[in-house]
Amino acid sequence: MVLARSRGVDLATGTGLTGPLTGCTEIIDVSNIVTVRKKTAIEFFASATRNLLEAGASAGTRHVITLSIVGIDDVGLGYYLGKRTQEEAVRLGPLPWSILRATQFHEFAEPLLDGARGPFVVVPHLLCQPVAVAEVARAGRPGGPAAGRSPATAGRTRTTPADRHGPPSGESATVPRDRGAAAHTGRGRRGDDRRRSAPPGRVRPWRTNLHRVPARGRTGGRCDIHPKAHERNPMNNLAIRLTLAIPFLEEVLVGCWNQFAPHSFYDNFPTVNLNPPFSHHFAHDFGGATMGIALVLGIAMVTPRTHYVVPAALAFSTWAVPHFFYHLLNTFPPTLALTITLHTANAVVAVLGLTAVGMAVLRDRRATSSAM
């Protein structure tokens, strides 16, 4: 019997636990929460474990096997503190228990990359011995006696998450305090539970492509900055850059022309003088706003990350789409050829902004799907 919220069971509140555990002789607890916050992790594991054990004792369960992590005693991560709380609740609980500690799974590196926002992610030089999920499942197979804290389960090869994802971007960073030291010295490997202190020294502020982080305390371990998978494909970025190029050039031309030569723009740009009167104030303001849109389009074109492309292209489309419909319904150039040319150009420009948004979103979805 699998206990899950999709089946009406909520470990955090204890809802729906009584019925499914009736007749259950053993519980394998692999409950989890995705968080790095200390309070959230401790509260979840404390309540979920307590509710599960109490329900198991009431149902006559004779043994609980709890999955945990190698090295959690030495690292003060919020999630690890939650796992330590879970282990303590199991040891003090009403059921005979076994705690199986395992190293990181082979699949650990993928969510580390794909869960980060933006094109780069900090990948630690985390010395570990990844293990297959199937091997951990065999080690925690039910049917045996309560073993207390079982021998740790680990893979045979020591490696780092960065080894799976090619060379870094050239940027590096220092992880402060005991977390970096744990990664650098390999705590989190089987049979290495002794406490180690980080080497002394000051950590200077470091700069990556994304952040400036003022680290304090003692030096720990080093991290590389790796590009995310979908940003490694130059064709994706080239297509987005080309799509943004025309709106960018148009906004630069119109903005600068209005800002620095408003009378000339009014007299010479097609259809503008069809809607008099001329306003010097309005022309300057329009030119400045247009140059602002050109600026964000230029940033997105140079650095086509999704969180730049989407707002820049949407800002442009907020102007371009209503502009197209206004010209279509309210301006009538003197010749049919000029009418067709202007309406076609306005339509193309209006579509380009929305196209850039779609391309950026599709790129991310494809990258996520290929990583699964």
Percentage, residues of the chain above pLDDT 90: 33
pTM across the whole model = 0.49
Whole-angstrom distance, CA of residue 367 vs CA of residue 361 = 10
pLDDT of residue 218: 36
Residue 219: strand pairing partners: 176
Residue showing tokens 């030089």: 125
Where would I find the H helices in 261-335?
262-268, 280-302, 306-330
Whole-angstrom distance, CA of residue 321 vs CA of residue 347 = 8
Which is nearest to 242 in space by CA: 301, 283, 166? 301
Contacts of 216 (CB under 8 A, 6+ apart): 176, 203
Whole-angstrom distance, CA of residue 14 vs CA of residue 49 = 10
pLDDT greater than 90 at residue 20: no
Q: Among 102-111, 219-228, 267-276, which is the least confidently predicted range?
A: 219-228
Side-chain-side CA neighbours of residue 137 (13 Å): 3
Q: pLDDT for 205-241, tens place per residue? A: 323 333 333 333 334 454 544 455 445 556 778 889 9
pLDDT of residue 122: 62
Q: At what angle do helices 38-59 and 78-91 cross, to 10 degrees?
A: 20
- Domain 1-102 grouped into CATH 3.40.50.300: no
Whole-angstrom distance, CA of residue 259 vs CA of residue 283 = 7
> Which residues make up the CATH 3.40.50.720 domain(s) of the chain?
1-102
pLDDT greater than 60 at residue 170: no
Percentage, residues of the chain above pLDDT 70: 73
Q: pLDDT for 130-160, tens place per residue? A: 888 888 888 877 888 888 888 888 877 777 6
Whole-angstrom distance, CA of residue 350 vs CA of residue 83 = 52
pLDDT greater than 90 at residue 39: yes
Q: Which of 166-180, 215-229, 249-263, 274-288 has the highest mean pLDDT?
A: 249-263
Q: pLDDT for 53-76, tens place per residue? A: 999 999 999 999 999 998 888 888
Q: Among 84-88, 122-126, 204-208, which is the least confidently predicted range?
A: 204-208
Token pair of 12 as six digits: 């955090």
